[in-house]
């Protein structure tokens, strides 16, 4: 099973299927599931919206405001 984000599903899944068929004559996975990361308000997380988490904050640890 492949789990991927909705925004890249066509390009990523299509490429993996084509490469799998070309080199092994098999599809590399039987099912594909797409996910979308959402914030606390149900909005899709986006850098342009400013509702993303800073990776350095995740590494160093921060307190989130609820």
pLDDT in tens, 5-63: 666 767 888 888 899 999 999 988 888 777 777 778 888 778 888 888 777 887 888 77
CB 29 within 8 A of CB 1: yes
* pLDDT in the model for residue 60: 83
Alpha-carbon span 5 to 25, nearest angstrom: 25
Please tell me the predicted confidence (pLDDT) of residue 66.
63
The residue ranking higher by pLDDT, 27 or 64, is 27
* Whole-structure pTM value: 0.46
């Amino acid at each position: 099973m492949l789990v991927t984000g909705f925004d890249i599903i066509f390009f990523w899944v299509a490429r993996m299927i084509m490469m799998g068929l070309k080199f092994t004559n098999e599809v590399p996975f039987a099912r594909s599931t797409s996910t979308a990361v959402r914030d606390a308000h149900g909005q899709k997380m986006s850098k342009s919206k400013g509702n993303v988490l800073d990776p350095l904050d995740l590494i160093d640890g921060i307190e989130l405001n609820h």
